[in-house]
């Protein structure tokens, strides 16, 4: 019996070495997907909020700052389909926000950027006097 027990001394280490990489990959994948989902939701919220503020005249300048408040991982600047001053009531404006969604670069196949666009109808044809060429605080 003692001899048989001695022959199995390293089996737990070998089993752990075989299972750990798979377990670690699954955990990293869950973390990366969670970060991607969070980034996608915050980017969508930023695009929606900027579009909402533009169409009511509260944010015809400073869209980048407002979008960064909602999506801190935003890259580049906010894209507007047309300058708000060139639109009239009822016209559509599309706001595009792009964010960096890469947290762990070890997992292939996960997109590194998230781009969300939101289209809204113009409600006013001039900027609000209170906005004073900057976005109002959220």
Alpha carbon distance 73, 17 (integer Å): 36
Q: Judge whether residue 5 has pLDDT over 60.
A: no
Alpha carbon distance 54, 10 (integer Å): 66
DSSP letter string, 61-88: S-HHHHHHHH-TTB-S--EESS-GGG--
Structure confidence at residue 3 as a pLDDT band (50, 70, 90) = low
Alpha carbon distance 131, 48 (integer Å): 18
Global pTM?
Answer: 0.75
pLDDT digits (tens, 9 = 90+) for 24-47: 989 988 888 888 889 899 999 999
pLDDT digits (tens, 9 = 90+) for 68-116: 888 888 888 888 888 887 778 888 889 999 988 877 666 666 668 888 9
Alpha carbon distance 79, 42 (integer Å): 16
- Three-state secondary structure call for residue 108: coil
């Amino acid at each position: 019996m003692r001899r048989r027990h001695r022959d199995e001394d390293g089996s737990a280490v070998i089993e752990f070495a075989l299972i750990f990489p798979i377990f670690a990959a699954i955990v990293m994948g869950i973390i990366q997907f969670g970060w991607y989902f969070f980034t996608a939701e915050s980017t969508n919220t930023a695009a929606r909020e900027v579009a909402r503020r533009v169409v009511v005249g509260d944010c015809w300048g400073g869209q980048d700052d407002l979008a960064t408040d909602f999506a801190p991982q935003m890259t580049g600047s906010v894209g507007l389909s047309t300058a708000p001053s060139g639109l009239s009531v009822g016209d559509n404006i599309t706001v595009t926000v792009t964010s960096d969604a890469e947290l762990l670069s070890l997992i292939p196949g996960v997109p590194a950027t998230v781009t969300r666009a939101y289209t809204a109808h113009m409600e006013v044809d001039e900027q609000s006097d209170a906005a004073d060429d900057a976005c109002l605080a959220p």
